[in-house]
Structure 1
Amino acid sequence: MICLDSSKARAVAPAGGQPRVPTGRSDETRSAVEALQGGAHAAVLVLGDHGIGKSTLMEAVADGLGGQVTPVRLHGSPALRHVPYGVLAPFIVELPVEEATSQLAVLRVFWSYLEGERRTAGKPLLLVVDDAHDLDDATAGVLVELAAAGWAKLLVGAAARPGLPEPLLQLWFEGVAERHDLRPLSREQSAEVLAERLGPQVLPNVAEVLWEASAGNPLLLSCLVDDATSDGTLLQRNGVWLLSRALNSHGERLTDVVRRQLLRRSAAERTALNLVALAEPVSRSLIEAVVDEETVAGLIDQELLRVGDGPRAELRLWHTVYGDTLRNLISPARSLQLRQSLLRLMDREPVTAEGLLRQVSWSLECGVDVEDRQLLRAAVLASRLFEDDLARRAASHVKDPELKLTARSVIARTHYNTADHEAARDILEADFAKGQTVAGVLAGSLLWAAVLSALGHSPAEIMERAEALLRAGERLAAQNPDDAEGILTAVRDRVQTIGSMVLALAGEDAVEGGPDDAARSHGAGSDGASAGNHLEEAFRLALHAERLLVRGLPDSASSAAAAALAAAGADHDELYFLNDFLAVRAMTAAIHGGDWETAERLMGGFVAAYGPSLISFGGGVHTATGIILLYQGRSAEAKRTLRAALESLRVADPQQLFSVTAAMAFAAAADIGARDKAAGLLADYESARPAVSRYLRTLSEMAVVYGKARLDGSLGAAAEELDRLGQPDGGPRTAGLQFDALTFRLALGDLEAASRLRELKPGLQGRRAAAVCGYADALGSGDPGGQLDAAKACEAAGLWGFAAQAYGSAAAAYQAAGDTLRERMAASQRQRCRDRADSQDGAEADDEDSGLGLLTRRERDIVALAVRGLSDRQIAAELQVSVRTVEGHLYRSYAKLNIKGRDQLRQVAPD
């Protein structure tokens, strides 16, 4: 941690007189105010890292005391640290020179000044002492004397290292001071800071990336936000804040802060910090050999450097975000000089991936030649860590013609990271099957197939073009007869893997319900693939998982997806995104089955494990969250989340999730009557390239049909279209798709779907299917008690929309039976579920149409039927409510829409 400049303008209380409490510090602020108001404590001590918010907290405490005290501010200074009473000089100018070293004389004169301030204000004194770690002991002793005598109370802030001067620390040991050690902000607190600074529409992956980069340090967080907004890295699109690329950690504000703090360091300390920044992680003994042990130990003690946990005692900067900033401040000539001083002492190459990247990057910055294989290794590692600039730089310096093919495939990978599939394709197609070795022939071939899939090419077309690999293999085998068998086996394995991959990406055969190949999926080495071809097995399992999902077996699909992840292993060189692809399959199965806990656990694991890739792959996490919310019936929140996901996917969409996200966002907007937003989202869907997976394409089409029916009330046509989508090509074994289609129909109020759901129920898996089909069973029985049980089951499954429908059905059944008490109870429960489903946590102030956005979900349903020309009695029958309920909702709707009656509804709610 570089010593951050904690001096800043005094915090100002917001209008209205209420002091502003720093985010995440309310407990410390309240406790400190109470301690200074009471009689038991003479001082409050605030300690923490530089930039952690000590000064802000102290000003909040002073503001919290209001007009009860007279604050007098002192500020420690490194320049005066060894000058007795140096910071008190402005207050003791009348002191004779011969008495300048007398504590009693200094105390008397300083007290005289303070007493004058107290008399003028007529209030007790509060000495606010910032940067107390830079006070000399003599000044600290004077302050302690004032506090001990009860002449003033102290509010003291200091860096945790080197800490408080001994006299001030003694106050805490004696129990007359309250101490607060400030910790870094948590992830949630950092998100609150960003929401306060930027507004509520900040993508979760933005908050995650900024929290990780700042390590929860408020000043660093502020610097990163300022620099990222200035250079366009952090930008706002359609009201949503997102990251367009990796953070630039050498922006103007952060650089200025670090530069000013480096000036306070000795020459030896600056050399040590620069060496670690350029070479981290680097052996402690190497840095000690260049500078000295005492300097390194001091930097470690002050938490400027940290020692790794490994056996080699490697040094790193305490805050990793400072690395780029420091490197940017070092001139190329000085960098080369430092590199040579360190290389003279090194006896081996870096053993860690991070060390290799730093050494290669450092060499390129200095203009030093690097061996081709080391460049290629660094380029591959950098692309996997989404350090795309370094990956391109290293790959572009490779000179060997054969290695250059692999290097160019790495450059293509960096384009794939940002969803620039056309640029990736142009590079890969130019080199496809052109190498003179097996490695050269196969270089980039898996990524080539993935790129073509993303661009909409069918598996059959891709495999036809992949025959060029077989021909290249035959050419190489003829040229190298001694190795012919191995060459042909390697090439055939790769073609086999490509075949399985493109089928898995497209979900081919899954929707049609093709033959069950579970045994083949679990059998390594089948169809000519070698026994060690783990990728082949992983892709076959992924395709099998999608087949199971289509058949309505999400629990089994989850197990298959987990098996695919296990079969794939952890290390994939060329196909680095394989785990991301498989994780999406696993999340899809969990969401379809209503296993929200598993889905959220998978998403949490994705965020934790793929920090560097959150900018590229984070949109998919938001898509999954939004679909969960939509399935739960929480449409307002779903719309906001899915719209935010769309903005992230516009920047990078490596999993090709944009169209399904737009379709689900359209359905959510239609659900809450946001016509203008729905129109824009439908346009997004219609202009997007369809999802690669046929299952997701089908699900997207269903969501669009549902949304259109929500908006125009065309229930009959929607039911017919949804049935067609649930049984594509008339194929059998699509119970999962049929369940999706019938669930959308039931959500539209189409009670005919209930009988079909009852037929499907025995063959379906998952908590979501059990709850929805239980509701369908209860509708068929007509038993209000059974409908209540079904409503509770939907609640337990987190399906608030269907729970409200089930409670409504029960209320109608009780009303028909004349049981008024139970009717009211069921109606109350229905309203509670609606309130939960209609939670405005996800609403946007300017998001709804000026008319229908004012109505509740039930009011919109009734208005839509009224616009279609149904009478009050017909609406009551359609929605299974009383005529009086319909009349009441219409009356309230007229008032909200500022119209006089039914004849004006079409003007504000057209078909």
Structure 2
Amino acid sequence: MTDELIVERLIGRFALVQGVVDCLLDPSGPGVLLLGDAGMGKTALMHQVLEELGGRVRPYQINAGPSLARVPYAALAPLLMELTPEQIDQPIAVFDALSVQFSPDRRTGAVPALLVVEDGQYLDENSVALVTQLMVAEVVRVVFLCRTFPAPPAELLTMWSEGLLERFEVLPLEPDEAVEMCQEVLGAPVVSSTVAVLLRQSSGNPMLLRELLLQGRQSGQLVQGNNSWILNAPVQAAGSGLMDIVRQQVLGLDESDRQTLETVALAESLPLDTLVTLCDNNSIDHLQELGFIHVAEDHKRHVRLVKPLVAEILRQLVPKARGMAIRHRILAALDGNPETMDGLLRFVLWSLETGAPVEEETILHAARLANRLYLPGQVEQLALAIHSAKYRCEAAVELARARYYSGDYRAANSALNYVIDEAEDPLTLRQASLLAAQLAASRGAGSAGVTLVARAWNVALQRLAAVGTLSAQKVAVEQDAARLLCLSASHADGRYGDVQSELAALWEHSELLENRIQAGLLLSESLALTGQASTALGILDSVATLLSTDVTEHHYYRPELIRIQLAALHQAGEYQVLEDYVGHRIVEAENSLLYMGSLLQFAVGAAELNRGALIQALPHLIQSVEMLRLRDVRGLLPEALATVAYAAHLVGRNDLAVSYLAQAKAQPLVGRELSLVARARLISLQNEMSNARLPLSQLVLLADEAAAAGARSAELEVLYSAVRHGEASLVLRLASVAEKCEGRSAAFVLEFCRAIVVKDAVKLTDLSELAAREGQYLAAADCAAQAVKILDSRGDQARRFGAQRLYKRRIAALTTGGVLREPNSPDLGKLTRREQEIATLVQSGCSNREIALQLSVSLRTIEGHLYRIFAKLGISRRDDLAGRISVYL
């Protein structure tokens, strides 16, 4: 028997493991052809299969390889040690020797033999024929582990088509599998946005992902804060380990294929017609069949490498002289500027590097694209290459924006220093003014700083009008934009009622697209804060449609759109929609996640906190704090610190609560202050931790402050907090505010208040059941608590006992995400939300097939989830899961 390979632990793929095991345990079943790219984890998967099979097979393993491919039976040599050199050349002698070794009737217990062939794509023809004969004679079962390139021997594919082999494909990692792998490699949790970026960069290949993680940690691109790993800079694939992996992947290509691959990698993307003029057409077809390149369905049929990481590494592997020659050929063949963003960027950067002539207008366009793609380093290189007075101000705006994204506000402000005073066109003036206002807010200048920028903008408009650059009509349109900046300052001061009518008019009647976008964003935020979240979400959908008309020119509005959408969804109580929205943004895995990941992470944590899923909320909130320490564009860190302190106290982590509370108090709040909701949480936290009676008068004062500003959403949350802490006198006021607010949360609070007013314990119990079913664990506990109070006041001990028991279950659910663990039961905190959902359905008596139908997934997907659940919880049977978990819905 050959030596066993040392392999990494298998991550995920439990359904695939079970499929292979079932196939091999079927007495009349075929062999197995296990296909997957290099690094996809075929060996680890087979190792897991052998563990699952245990003593039910006698495993043998051989390793083929390119150096053995031309030598007959070379890969089988470890199994033929008893043959003489002359006998090894005789097919009959080799067949007899293997038959003796594999035949179960010569072995104690008649355990069937299983032959595992590593790198089966390199198995020589003689060995393939011989192993086929052994399979047909039922002497041994065989598993071939093959890469998709080079292709497996034709004989294996024929065996598959004839039913002698069952084909299984090892696919890229799923997101939850990537999360597990990242945590295993780094030894601590990794924030979701970082996992998404790395998963996309590695194309889900476990070996590439592992190398990225190790390299990122070594280079400092991955940083650790409070036991969580965060990607702090765009991935740079310069590590020798990654280069070796990619070098091995392309070694099997002939010269023509390598040249085509290098050409596509260096160009980022090329129209197919252009590529055909540069490279062999058969080579293009071959690379496409092998899965190295992809031809898009756009009108120019642009060609790109399938794996972005491979493309990046190839660009570094190509020798400099060879790369320069290929670049010159590409530049000559393009005969003009590329149409794709990545292609144009590569074209302009090459031109600058090689000294080829390129117009400054094109360089400026490339800088804008680099900002659109959140590549601040490239923006810096491009913007600093522009020297003429004609484009000087526009280049300065792009440079300032890149520095703003990087968090270097002082350098960004320096780049903008002269632009408002010198800009000669309204678009540059607008962009400079809006960015200057953002910088003013970032450095704590508050609404006064924003107002000063608006005034400077108006002065600049008058300057342009005086020299005839702008007509009176155009000046009026641009003054509307400056007016919007003033309205945003009033909005920041909480004067929502003063701005909404004017914002609504600008939203409805502005002819300029950018004015409509600005007005729509500001109006939506104001509406959401004043209790009209559903209306706000409708306007935001329209703004998103407007932005989609030109994502390049108006990309700088998209972060604001995302921020306001998250806030509006939160205020509407659409927590599940919010989490799905964040998930969609993360799956897109753009470089923008490096700059907006903290906002997304905080939004999810805050939503889970409001729902009462405390065990899930706390890690998300803590991770958002660590991300904000690295880059805090919106000044969100004080709010996040206060929220973490509150959440930590709710789950009984007072050590964390004390630490984060102190950090929140130490944060400077120059030019801004904590939100009313965060201040209410701090009041509750500080007094609960000091064992003093909650001074509800402070909460009432906050509610009054919110009411004076027209901030009904905040007033609703503050009043609800006071009622939760026992101030029944505020129930009618809370109901009145809820009646004036839109959204699911407000509607539920209204029903909650009405039931308290009429002392309807049955209604409160029903509301508790409804809230729990919708995952609103905090509301479910509050309803149960009020039902207990009402029954207690009536002396209804019989019904009070049932309500008290329900209340205890609801309280327990707050710290387990809706799942209550019994003594010695598995720790469900280890499970993802999807896995907890499946565990719930198992407990309710659903079969695997019923769960698959209910969740609209395949049966194998459910089986894979269950195997993962078993592994995490240390159980081995479905009955263990169903019998030891109690879920209260």
TM range (shorter): 0.7 to 0.9
Q: Which of 614, 617, 625 in structure 2 is aligned with 1:646?
A: 625
Question: Is 1:363 matched with 2:351?
Answer: yes
What's the counterpart of residue 825 of structure 1?
802
Secondary structure in 2 matching 1:351 = coil
Task: Tell me the distance in 1 between the aligned counterparts of 2:51 and 2:548.
Answer: 57
Q: CA deviation at 1:778?
A: 2.8
Task: Tell me the distance in 1 between the aligned counterparts of 2:402 and 2:819.
Answer: 35
Which amino acid is the alignment partner of residue 682 of structure 2? Answer: V
Q: CA deviation at 1:491?
A: 5.6
What's the counterpart of residue 721 of structure 2?
744
What's the counterpart of residue 690 of structure 2?
712
Q: CA deviation at 1:141?
A: 0.5
* Contact kept? 2:688, 2:694, Cα under 8 Å: no
Q: CA deviation at 1:288?
A: 4.1
* Contact kept? 2:706, 2:715, Cα under 8 Å: no
Task: Tell me the distance in 1 between the aligned counterparts of 2:155 and 2:520.
Answer: 68
String of CA shifts for 1:829-859, please: whole Å, max 9, x gaps: 212221221217999xxxxxxxxxxxxxxxx
String of CA shifts for 1:457-478, please: whole Å, max 9, x gaps: 2334433344344444444444
Which amino acid is the alignment partner of residue 514 of structure 2? Answer: L
* Contact kept? 1:332, 1:365, Cα under 8 Å: no
Q: Which of 8, 11, 18 in structure 1 is aligned with 2:7?
A: 11
Secondary structure in 1 matching 2:754 = helix
Residues 87 and 518 of structure 1: is their aligned pair in 2 closer, same or farther, counting only changes over 3 Å? same
Residues 257 and 400 of structure 1: is their aligned pair in 2 closer, same or farther, counting only changes over 3 Å? same
What's the counterpart of residue 704 of structure 2?
727
Q: CA deviation at 1:239?
A: 0.8
Task: Tell me the distance in 2 between the aligned counterparts of 1:8 and 1:619.
Answer: 44
Secondary structure in 2 matching 1:235 = strand
Q: CA deviation at 1:279?
A: 0.6
What's the counterpart of residue 338 of structure 1?
326
What's the counterpart of residue 203 of structure 2?
215
Q: CA deviation at 1:278?
A: 0.4
Q: CA deviation at 1:692?
A: 8.1
Residues 117 and 617 of structure 1: is their aligned pair in 2 closer, same or farther, counting only changes over 3 Å? farther
Q: CA deviation at 1:605?
A: 4.0
* Contact kept? 1:463, 1:499, Cα under 8 Å: no
Question: Is 1:464 matched with 2:447?
Answer: no
Residues 306 and 609 of structure 1: is their aligned pair in 2 closer, same or farther, counting only changes over 3 Å? closer
What's the counterpart of residue 265 of structure 2?
277
Q: CA deviation at 1:309?
A: 1.9
What's the counterpart of residue 863 of structure 1?
none
Residues 659 and 496 of structure 1: is their aligned pair in 2 closer, same or farther, counting only changes over 3 Å? farther
Which amino acid is the alignment partner of residue 711 of structure 1? Answer: M
* Contact kept? 1:47, 1:157, Cα under 8 Å: yes
What's the counterpart of residue 782 of structure 2?
805
Secondary structure in 2 matching 1:507 = helix
Identity %: 26
Question: Is 1:538 matched with 2:517?
Answer: yes
Task: Tell me the distance in 1 between the aligned counterparts of 2:462 and 2:597.
Answer: 42
What's the counterpart of residue 763 of structure 1?
740
What's the counterpart of residue 296 of structure 1?
284
Question: Is 1:666 matched with 2:645?
Answer: yes
Question: Is 1:834 matched with 2:788?
Answer: no
Task: Tell me the distance in 2 between the aligned counterparts of 1:464 and 1:813.
Answer: 56
String of CA shifts for 1:407-432, please: whole Å, max 9, x gaps: 22212111211332222112112433
1:398-409 equivalent positions in 2, closer than 5 A: 398-409=386-397
Question: Is 1:504 matched with 2:481?
Answer: no
* Contact kept? 1:504, 1:540, Cα under 8 Å: no
Residues 334 and 800 of structure 1: is their aligned pair in 2 closer, same or farther, counting only changes over 3 Å? same
What's the counterpart of residue 680 of structure 1?
659
Which amino acid is the alignment partner of residue 533 of structure 1? Answer: L
Which amino acid is the alignment partner of residue 706 of structure 1? Answer: S
* Contact kept? 2:7, 2:44, Cα under 8 Å: yes
Question: Is 1:396 matched with 2:397?
Answer: no
Moved more, 570-579 or 447-456: 570-579
Task: Tell me the distance in 2 between the aligned counterparts of 1:691 and 1:634.
Answer: 33
Q: CA deviation at 1:295?
A: 2.5
Q: Which has the higher contact order (CA 8 A, sep 6+)?
A: 2
Task: Tell me the distance in 2 between the aligned counterparts of 1:418 and 1:260.
Answer: 36
* Contact kept? 1:69, 1:125, Cα under 8 Å: yes
Question: Is 1:204 matched with 2:183?
Answer: no
Secondary structure in 2 matching 1:241 = strand
Residues 505 and 627 of structure 1: is their aligned pair in 2 closer, same or farther, counting only changes over 3 Å? farther
What's the counterpart of residue 702 of structure 1?
680
Q: CA deviation at 1:71?
A: 2.9
What's the counterpart of residue 335 of structure 2?
347
Task: Tell me the distance in 2 between the aligned counterparts of 1:809 and 1:443.
Answer: 53
Q: CA deviation at 1:34?
A: 3.5
* Contact kept? 2:445, 2:670, Cα under 8 Å: no
Q: CA deviation at 1:356?
A: 0.5
Task: Tell me the distance in 1 between the aligned counterparts of 2:782 and 2:273.
Answer: 70
Question: Is 1:46 matched with 2:30?
Answer: no
Which amino acid is the alignment partner of residue 155 of structure 2? Answer: P
Secondary structure in 2 matching 1:444 = helix
Task: Tell me the distance in 1 between the aligned counterparts of 2:313 and 2:769.
Answer: 57
Question: Is 1:780 matched with 2:757?
Answer: yes
* Contact kept? 1:133, 1:159, Cα under 8 Å: yes
Q: Which segments of 5 or more consecutive residues in structure 1 lack a partner in the other structure?
A: 1-6, 13-19, 844-911
Q: CA deviation at 1:574?
A: 6.8
* Contact kept? 1:691, 1:697, Cα under 8 Å: no
Secondary structure in 1 matching 2:260 = helix
Task: Tell me the distance in 1 between the aligned counterparts of 2:707 and 2:198.
Answer: 50
Residues 245 and 807 of structure 1: is their aligned pair in 2 closer, same or farther, counting only changes over 3 Å? same
Task: Tell me the distance in 2 between the aligned counterparts of 1:681 and 1:426.
Answer: 34
What's the counterpart of residue 130 of structure 1?
118
What's the counterpart of residue 578 of structure 2?
599
Question: Is 1:625 matched with 2:604?
Answer: yes
Residues 74 and 642 of structure 1: is their aligned pair in 2 closer, same or farther, counting only changes over 3 Å? same
Moved more, 373-382 or 145-154: 145-154
String of CA shifts for 1:372-408, please: whole Å, max 9, x gaps: 1221111110111112222211212122223132222
TM-score by length of structure 1 reads 0.82
Q: CA deviation at 1:158?
A: 0.9
Q: CA deviation at 1:142?
A: 0.7
Q: Which of 329, 353, 364 in structure 2 is aligned with 1:376?
A: 364
Task: Tell me the distance in 2 between the aligned counterparts of 1:842 and 1:507.
Answer: 42
Residues 348 and 381 of structure 1: is their aligned pair in 2 closer, same or farther, counting only changes over 3 Å? same
Secondary structure in 1 matching 2:422 = coil
Task: Tell me the distance in 1 between the aligned counterparts of 2:446 and 2:278.
Answer: 60
Q: Which segments of 5 or more consecutive residues in structure 2 lack a partner in the other structure?
A: 821-889
Residues 238 and 449 of structure 1: is their aligned pair in 2 closer, same or farther, counting only changes over 3 Å? same
* Contact kept? 2:63, 2:117, Cα under 8 Å: yes
Q: CA deviation at 1:214?
A: 1.9
Secondary structure in 1 matching 2:303 = strand
Moved more, 397-406 or 794-803: 794-803
Residues 142 and 568 of structure 1: is their aligned pair in 2 closer, same or farther, counting only changes over 3 Å? closer
Secondary structure in 1 matching 2:75 = helix
What's the counterpart of residue 560 of structure 2?
581
What's the counterpart of residue 554 of structure 1?
533
Secondary structure in 1 matching 2:342 = helix
Question: Is 1:64 matched with 2:47?
Answer: no
Q: CA deviation at 1:813?
A: 3.3
Task: Tell me the distance in 1 between the aligned counterparts of 2:584 and 2:101.
Answer: 60
CA RMSD of aligned residues (A): 3.3
Task: Tell me the distance in 2 between the aligned counterparts of 1:550 and 1:75.
Answer: 66
Q: CA deviation at 1:350?
A: 0.9
Q: CA deviation at 1:231?
A: 1.0
Task: Tell me the distance in 2 between the aligned counterparts of 1:248 and 1:41.
Answer: 47
Secondary structure in 2 matching 1:227 = helix
Q: Which of 146, 162, 165 in structure 2 is aligned with 1:177?
A: 165
Task: Tell me the distance in 2 between the aligned counterparts of 1:506 and 1:80.
Answer: 76
Which amino acid is the alignment partner of residue 626 of structure 2? Answer: E
* Contact kept? 2:36, 2:169, Cα under 8 Å: yes
Secondary structure in 2 matching 1:45 = strand
